[in-house]
Structure 1
Amino acid sequence: MTATTDWTAAWISPTDDPGPAGRRPAYRLRGELVLDRPVVAAQLRATAHGIYELELDGVRVGSDELTPGFTEYAHRTQVQTYDVGHLLAEGPHVIDALLADGWYRGQVGILRATDQWGTETAFLAELHLEHEDGSTTAVGTDATWRWSRSHILEADLIEGQREDRRLVGVEPDWQPVQVGERGYDALVTSPAPPVRAVEEIRPISVTVLRPGVHVVDLGQNINGRVRLGDLGPEGTEITLTHGEALGPDGDVTIEHLRPAMPFLPEPLSAGQVDSVVSAGLPGDVFEPRFTTHGFRYVRIEGHPGPLRPGDVTGVVVHTDLEVRGSFSCDVERLDRLHEAAVWSFRGNACDIPTDCPTRERAGWTGDWQLYVPTASYLYDVQGFSTKWLRDVAAGQWEDGTITGMAPMPVAEMTGFLRTTNGSAGWGDASVLVPWELFQEYGDVAVLEELWPTMVAWLGRAERMASQDRHPDRVAAHAVPLPHEQYLWDTGFHWGEWLEPGGEPQDFPAFIAADKSDVATAFYAWSTRHAAAIARVLGKDAEAERYAALSDHVVDAWRTEFIDAGGHVQPHTQANLVRALRFGLVPDDLRQLAADDLVALVRKADTHLGTGFLATPDLLPVLADHGHLDVAYELLLQDTEPSWLAMIDRGATTVWERWEGIDDDGVPHESLNHYSKGAVISFLHRYVAGLQRTEPTWRRFRVAPRPGGGITRASTEHLTPHGTAAVAWQQGRTFAMTVTVPPGCTADVVLPDGTTYEKGPGTHTF
């Protein structure tokens, strides 16, 4: 992380009354300069409190979107640098910027709160010029810059964008800017790729719902925007409403996207509405770049028609990540499930890992903690995750609490919502995400950088476990039992959030409930990982301490949650999965626990019963304990709750809830949450059979586990050393091809148990 403090430019702001929150305009800012001698190189660096877009002499600078990005602005505001030497010659030049609220001042999170990091937007830019004689010149934002309102009348990331195209090119009423003292200490560069418009999608249909109302179906749920051509005669006003689902009448519905939580007095706006007034100019288009939406469908009202598919383009917007992994097989619905999971991640990789691109757009720590192993197989997420982890660290409280989201909306740090921070499984992202970056990329630096954050987080868990007791446990026995000093049974925890049928009806009771089975399990898991991290960092004393602490916590969990008959309690699918995955069950009881898990699956008529935290591990745990057949039955289950029930009901992204669209076709909450899509790691690691066993894939395992009627599967993954790949097919004989990158070794296990050790190259079996 590089601080950029060598600035001579000043922060500038428009001096306008912006109007009501969520409905504020984008401002134009302009600076002028005259070059009196040639330049051989020039860099323009810029940032904002808000989001900005730059032009130099009417030419857009760069292709980055939503700059400077979403961060903990008080601690970290990112700076972008653009090479503009090719745009500069001797003579006069004009630098223009559009500045909108963005995350800094616009609506953020479930509460739709505004002005969270500040009440005034600001812009900072500086042009560094290098001349033929080696001298340099720096010119930047200062009191000579001017501002005006723009043709963008309203711009909010959630609510939407409203434009009057008739104002484009109209000479503005320029006003002097206000110069502010905001400092430079928080300015940093980002290790993450920028957000960009990465793909365009043509609609699969445009339907006339009624006169003047069209419904566009992109055929794919995305995060992004619409580019609309043929805007009609001058003065035509067109409204675009973006949604993930259609109602029974074939119209776009967004009712399920309105935040409606127990702590809200009433449901809030779903937003996602853009509008434009046409200038009547041939070739003019509307493409809002200061907002994004999560949508598959668009209702277009006011267009005189006819509206053709070629007039509408879906523009996919997300962090420009490099593709690293793929999968295919001969079961078409599984390929569609994999594609839906990939699209769900793409829709939620917009500068930070969000939970959904619609209702909240929040960087929930638990969601990324459980999905990052899947994401790192699909894409290069090293810089993306590192950037986000720095917001996790910046937002950590003095007592070690990791906030539930990063960046953390300020409004959600007040009242009872403040108490929902510090949840096990969520705060553990501070340990488990850096560990995954080390395993995948060999990134030791991120372990070193986040080590103080991990220590503070685990110190909080240790204090809470050793010093506090849950009221229910106190009531049961006033004197604590010896093992209870290692039970983490206080504080708020989301637990196994959103198990099928497990939505809390009484939120205060849910908050107060004892979830020590989950919290203590993560306490054991993260301290074990902290010991491994300490060993990598050469911190031998810390490694020994955390290893011993983890052993004590495991013993405490066993004492509390394994009954006299050797059965895990609470006796739920999620708790059994977690106990087996985290090594909480003694070796002599592991098969019993696995068999108990199968019994619960069968009791649910062969349906899963896990929520957020345990779902990624459900199928691997079954497969690793002699129940591969049950794992495949769950994978291919097509009645709710299941993954294929989503696919069969038309999902092109993964739903937040198992019943995201119910039997009556009614949508519920987000239809684009990647967390349950972590199941596709089973496709990579078990169906195709490619598993990393050493950091950076220096050694990996190829062990396909055919089943479920699948007769062909393949996967590729671009490791730091090159492509690792496996492709197999099963007919009268089993045939497989394996590719091993340079410097790597593969342990190959055929379905009949035959094993080989293979070095670099392509091998056939």
Structure 2
Amino acid sequence: MPHSSPEPAFTELLDGAAWIRPCEPVDPGPGSRPAYVVRLDVELPADVAAATLAATAHGIIEVFLNGRRVGDEELVPGFTAYRKRLQVFEWDVAGYLHGGTNRVEVLLSDGWFRGRHGFERRADGFGIETAVLLGLKGSSGSGEAFHVVSDGTWSSAPSHIIRADLMDGQSVDFRRLDGDGGVDGPWSAVSIGTGALYDDGSRLIPTSAEPVRRIDTLPPVGVSSPRPGTAVVDFGQNLNGWVRLTSLGPRDTHLVLTHGEVLAGSGLVSTENLRSFIFATGDLLPAGQIDEVISSGRPGETFEPRHTTHGFRYVQIDGLPGALDPEDIRAVVVHTDLLPTGSFSCSDAALNALHTAGVWSFRGNACEIPTDCPQRERSGFTGDWQVFVGTAAFLYDVQAFSDKWLADLAADQWADGRVPTITPNPAGDKPSGVLFEDLSAGSAGWGDAAVVVPWELWRAYGDEGVLRRQLPSMQAWVDYAARSAAANRHPARAERRPVPAAWETFLWDSGFHFGEWLEPGVPPAPNPATDHSIVATAFLHRSAALLAASAKVLGEKELEAKYSTVAAGAREAWQREFLTGHGLLSIETQAHYARGLAFGLFPAGAREAAAGRLAELIEENNGHLGTGFLSTGQLLPALADHGKAEEAYAVLLSRGTPSWLGMLENGATTVWEWWDGVAQGEVRGSLNHYSKAAVLSFLYTHVAGIRLSEHPTADEAAYRQVTIAPVPGGGLDWAQASLHTPQGLLSSAWRIVGGDFVLDVSLPPGTRARVELPNGTVLAAEGGQRTFSVPLQQSVRA
């Protein structure tokens, strides 16, 4: 849904513009398609005083005026649900133009529109043609107006980028450029795109979130030469982006760059852990992430592939004519230009390193949309952002970033309310025809992003607008889940209990669900026959409860009552079906106990017993966690909030596998998809997934003690009201966290001085705080700085 007026500024700029397609007589196929240049020479009046350019594309573009690149945004026009939402970028370009002949050029590649995408790396997801739409309007100092648009007078040619794909990589042949840096033809007339998407101007929207930019550069921390002509560069950090390479060698030097997260025993880069497969056949797919460059021999040539991105720590360069000088290569960190907001540190260096790794995992997966991994899939998995959005809001300002993505989620939502597993979704708001993709749409814990994400944005930023905009999508999802629960029964349950129990109206035991997913020691088995009702019913309760809370914020009393009833019914169904005794479950896993405590599913009088049983399960697992994708972030708060803070710290600080610090011990610089992503020399799965980094929330909410209400009112949301309640432990001597909130900078810092616990709190003006000290003292505080000191209870140092 557009977030702007019906007549955005670019409408006038694009008036009369046509979609133009480069001449492409032969399609070399996905992964092998070149980038094209479309260009026009225009005569402009002297003394250009004002000029604005608007452009968008089916594909990815860079715009050049008189040889100068316009703007510093990357991967323009970004990634959205293109069939319904296509962003138009605008730039002030007066400084790029002059009187007389001016050249307008657009470099166009496949991007997300028709490039490879997702786990199965399918291409042509949104269309089979790339195209550009552009308008340039301005005036001279004397008031003479000009207006240039994309039309049939433009010409096109294959560019020096002879292959460009976001997943496969990019190949550049600098020999195709002339001495002035222009493409050396042959030039052909463009064609005009008409029909279908071309004619639907209603989908054009202004940019609504921060763009992708080049954020940072990293030098190598090591360069090796495992064989003649080959260099392997270690940047010391797993990241998303590309490399910038100079000194490309004499003319005709052909360099091949392979990007990966690990090294093989030979010292070469391995990408085996990043290979996905075809679900229907199991056939492995190549990992991609290979760039190439052919030198023209001209001085000053620099290779920087801006029409692809890679997830990598290491780059292997083959074809070098001599040794690689470390000064000639840099890793370029590329992601959405989000504002950092949070910081955390403490007396334990390992926890600081974990925080850093979690931040880097998010940075690697915040490239235009929230992705699952920056190398193998690069898809906007709904479950990933549902799990992590609350944590991300401690680290960066993700309000606009998430709001934009939620609009795509609503655009891709099926008519029956189902939410696809990924969004933006190449299939749009309907089945794709791919069995597993269509089967998995509507999985509990994934589709619930439709409700959880807007609610987390409300808590952190206090904007009722996101709840209002997303309310139809939220309702559609919960209605779908509630209908599914009421209409169907799992065959095994029907056989055991032929006559359904009354509570089964709200027991969601049908359809496909991923379940907890990737619990340690549990092989993933995405089987629609599996009964995941203990997970699905919990999420039905959770989303219905949050939808009711959202309706309350919006003053929608009937909706509040309706979904409160659904939430209560799902909670009763969960309790009646799975509770077997005082705080005990019939299906015992750490995940089910943690989720039940986090979602308030256990009766109030049974919660401490449930937390005790959760602690016992951890002890029985040799002190290690056993949670998977959905509940890992809930585990430590579930313990600490129910009298088991020491056990929470013990899990947080545990080593070996599975554990967070065990990842770091095995060389992680980002958080892994699998708990045993690297074990006994074997590597599997992505080494850059942020879902398990949701533990970072605990560092802010419990270690440092900065907490928002779970159900804030308008007077409490966005840190207008906050609880400061540090939970010291784990042998820590001090901890501190700060957060730039909508009200201003907030911080909580504590230290142990002799036998006292000393807490420094800084609140922005207008923020009210409930301060809970470890000895049970509760105090009120308002904007400003306060210091509190109480005798230390010895148990918190355990």
User: Residue 692 of structure 2 is aligned with which of 673, 676, 701?
Assistant: 676
Matched, 1:712 2:734: yes
Secondary structure at 2:785 match in 1: strand
Shift of 1:575: 0.5
- Of 170-179 and 379-388, the range deviating more from structure 2: 170-179
- Structure 2 letter corresponding to 1:705: V
Q: What is the Cα-based RMSD across aligned positions, in Å? A: 1.4
User: 2:784 maps to which residue?
Assistant: 761
Distance 1:191 1:758 in 2: 37
Kept after mapping to 1: 8 A contact 2:582/2:609? no
Aligned length: 761
Distance 1:750 1:480 in 2: 49
Kept after mapping to 1: 8 A contact 2:547/2:560? yes
Matched, 1:461 2:481: yes
Kept after mapping to 2: 8 A contact 1:371/1:674? yes
Deviations 1:75-130 (A, max 9, x none): 11111001101222321111111000001010000111111111110001101214
Distance 1:466 1:318 in 2: 43
Distance 2:494 2:777 in 1: 55
Matched, 1:729 2:751: yes
User: Residue 752 of structure 1 is aligned with which of 744, 760, 775?
Assistant: 775
Shift of 1:591: 1.2
User: 1:313 maps to which residue?
Assistant: 330
Deviations 1:2-30 (A, max 9, x none): 35555321000012123121110000110
- Of 9-18 and 667-676, the range deviating more from structure 2: 9-18
Secondary structure at 1:432 match in 2: helix
User: Residue 276 of structure 2 is aligned with which of 249, 259, 276?
Assistant: 259
User: 2:662 maps to which residue?
Assistant: 645
Shift of 1:686: 0.9
User: 2:623 maps to which residue?
Assistant: 606
User: 1:541 maps to which residue?
Assistant: 558
- Structure 2 letter corresponding to 1:549: V
Matched, 1:494 2:494: no
Matched, 1:20 2:42: no
Kept after mapping to 2: 8 A contact 1:18/1:25? no
User: Residue 370 of structure 2 is aligned with which of 353, 359, 367?
Assistant: 353
Distance 1:446 1:264 in 2: 41
Secondary structure at 2:678 match in 1: coil
User: Residue 327 of structure 1 is aligned with which of 344, 367, 378?
Assistant: 344
Distance 2:137 2:391 in 1: 41
Kept after mapping to 1: 8 A contact 2:23/2:157? no
Shift of 1:32: 1.9
Distance 2:543 2:207 in 1: 27
Shift of 1:564: 4.4
User: Residue 316 of structure 2 is aligned with which of 279, 283, 299?
Assistant: 299
Shift of 1:265: 3.7
Distance 1:708 1:261 in 2: 45
Shift of 1:678: 0.6
TM-score (norm 2): 0.94
Kept after mapping to 2: 8 A contact 1:109/1:409? no
Matched, 1:58 2:49: no
User: Residue 462 of structure 2 is aligned with which of 433, 442, 445?
Assistant: 442
TM-score (norm 1): 0.98
Secondary structure at 2:658 match in 1: coil
Kept after mapping to 2: 8 A contact 1:366/1:427? yes
User: 2:791 maps to which residue?
Assistant: none
- Structure 2 letter corresponding to 1:10: A
User: 2:382 maps to which residue?
Assistant: 365
Distance 1:566 1:229 in 2: 63
User: 2:765 maps to which residue?
Assistant: 742
Matched, 1:399 2:421: no
Kept after mapping to 2: 8 A contact 1:569/1:575? no
Distance 1:627 1:726 in 2: 22
Kept after mapping to 1: 8 A contact 2:421/2:437? no
Counterparts of 1:365-384 in structure 2 under 5 Å? 365-384=382-401
Kept after mapping to 2: 8 A contact 1:204/1:219? yes
Distance 1:382 1:179 in 2: 38
User: 1:418 maps to which residue?
Assistant: 438
Kept after mapping to 1: 8 A contact 2:45/2:140? no
Shift of 1:249: 2.1
User: 1:245 maps to which residue?
Assistant: 262
Deviations 1:239-273 (A, max 9, x none): 10000011122221101101036534410010000
Secondary structure at 1:650 match in 2: coil
After superposition, the Cα gap between the structure-2 partners of 1:725 and 1:695, relative to the gap in structure 1 and judged at 3 Å, is: same
User: 1:185 maps to which residue?
Assistant: 202
Unaligned runs of 5+ in 2: 710-715, 789-798
Kept after mapping to 2: 8 A contact 1:247/1:666? no
Distance 1:409 1:499 in 2: 29
- Of 241-250 and 124-133, the range deviating more from structure 2: 124-133
Distance 2:556 2:437 in 1: 37
Secondary structure at 1:641 match in 2: coil
Shift of 1:133: 6.4
Deviations 1:500-551 (A, max 9, x none): 011235x4xx221111111110101111111111111111111111112211
Distance 1:544 1:565 in 2: 30
Shift of 1:41: 1.8
- Of 133-142 and 281-290, the range deviating more from structure 2: 133-142
Distance 1:413 1:226 in 2: 37
Unaligned runs of 5+ in 1: none
Deviations 1:328-350 (A, max 9, x none): 11111111100000000000000
User: 2:126 maps to which residue?
Assistant: 117
